[in-house]
Amino acid sequence: MKKIVINGGRPLKGEITISGAKNSVVALIPAIILSDDVVILDCVPDISDVASLVDIMEIMGASVKRYDDVLEIDPRGVQNKPMPYGKINSLRASYYFYGSLLGRFGEATVGLPGGCDLGPRPIDLHLKAFEAMGAKTTYEGDNMNLSTNGSRLQGAHIYMDTVSVGATINTMLAAVKAQGRTVIENAAREPEIIDVATLLNNMGAHIRGAGTDMITIDGVESLHGTRHQVIPDRIEAGTYIAMAAAVGQGIRINNVLYEHLEGFIAKLEEMGVHMTVSEDSIYVEEQTNLKAVNIKTAPYPGFATDLQQPITPLLLKAEGRGTLIDTIYEKRVNHVFELAKMNADISTTNDHIFYKGGNPLHGASVRATDLRAGAALVIAGLMAEGRTEITSVEFILRGYSNIIEKLRNLGADIELIED
């Protein structure tokens, strides 16, 4: 067991560099299974989800080399065999193996995915797409079996009943080697989808329309190796921007793509946060006189659900009352109860979050209930007077690369302790 200990109330300053996108790389690694040669990824974040995916790839027979932030994967030795349940159950993004294995072998046996408990996140849309392309689904215990019974997947016209990043990417993975054309309507538009499509196209796929609500994929016989740079992590960037506004005395966030954060930054500007946006960085000034705002999450390019929790501690510094409504994951409210332990004036009713800013936060013993809730507690711990201990930090380490080192470089009194 590990815990993070923070002695808060210290102003921070300096620079911080954003790592590659967690929500991209967890799809890019399974996508490499579709290649007939070596694929190299640059700017790979040092997070536990990547370590788990690498372990799974090696168990399947891939050869993997890692040096600094570079990941080199040779998938030619991959064999179609059941995924290790413990590894699969540890991360939600394991479902991307469905599409890549179906695309390469025409079948897949995979344990049901795990990850953070944010309420129902059904994979019905994924299965509907696979079945439209000719795959059949059966269940054996904790495993799900997908198979085309020896046939090649067939292109299909697929309408997503709801906008889903995971289902959009998984359908692309399955479709790139399918026979004929696949059209995805009501597709998600997130930057991570464009990143995955860029990798696949660089491998020889024919994908058009990524980043719009209609994606067209013309199937190909084979894909080749390539080198690809992972886009910056917009959620990590938003987390540190919120942190900088909450406790910073001038912090520059490097390796940021502003266009990926427009909805988030617009809300910060409404609060009165002063920032200077440059080509690939954002400088956040020391803040005063922030005002409360109401936030409702929405699919991209709206306010990202993954930034709902990290912005909450900053809201507690603002004057006035406001609400937070998460329309993507309605049950994403567990951080509220932990922040209340730190003297926050915050509550939840019918999955809506209500807060009043202005109460000084006090250090406390709290628990990270999921990845982004953990990030919120780290920011709150930096803001609070006294000592904060955060347990269940394995969630945080799933998605924030070198978080302890990055915050220490800004002047934070923070350490990761083996309990």
Task: Please give the annotated binding residues for UDP-N-acetyl-alpha-D-glucosamine, written as ranges.
Answer: 92, 121-125, 306, 328
Residues marked as catalytic: 116
The dihedrals phi and psi of 372, each to the nearest 5 degrees, come to -75, -30
Q: Which CATH superfamily is domain 20-227 in?
A: Enolpyruvate transferase domain (3.65.10.10)
The confidence score (pLDDT) of residue 271 equals 98
Per-residue tokens: 41: 């990824």
Find the mean pLDDT for residues 13-17. Answer: 98
> C-alpha angle with apex 332: 1 to 112, nearest 5 degrees?
65
Mean pLDDT of the chain: 94
Confidence of residue 364 (pLDDT cuts 50, 70, 90): very high
pLDDT, tens digit (0-9, with 9 covering 90-100), for 92-116 = 668 899 999 999 999 988 766 654 4
Helix (H) or strand (E) holding 101: helix 96-105
pLDDT, tens digit (0-9, with 9 covering 90-100), for 187-204 = 999 999 999 999 999 999
pLDDT, tens digit (0-9, with 9 covering 90-100), for 326-336 = 999 888 999 99
pLDDT value at 141 more than 80: no
User: Domain spans of the chain?
Assistant: 1-17+231-416, 20-227
The confidence score (pLDDT) of residue 202 equals 98
Buried b (16+ CB within 10 A) or exposed e, 370-395: bbbbbbbbbbbbbbbeeebbbbbbeb
Domain 1-17+231-416 part of CATH 3.65.10.10: yes
Find the mean pLDDT for residues 13-19. Answer: 98
The confidence score (pLDDT) of residue 30 equals 96
pTM to 2 decimals?
0.95
> Bridge partners of 367?
391
Task: Please give the annotated binding residues for phosphoenolpyruvate, written as ranges.
Answer: 22-23
Residue closest to 30 by CA, chosen among 82, 78, 68: 78
Task: Please give the annotated binding residues, written as ranges.
Answer: 22-23, 92, 121-125, 306, 328
Confidence of residue 64 (pLDDT cuts 50, 70, 90): very high
Q: Do domains 1-17+231-416 and 20-227 have the same CATH topology?
A: yes
Helix (H) or strand (E) holding 159: strand 157-159
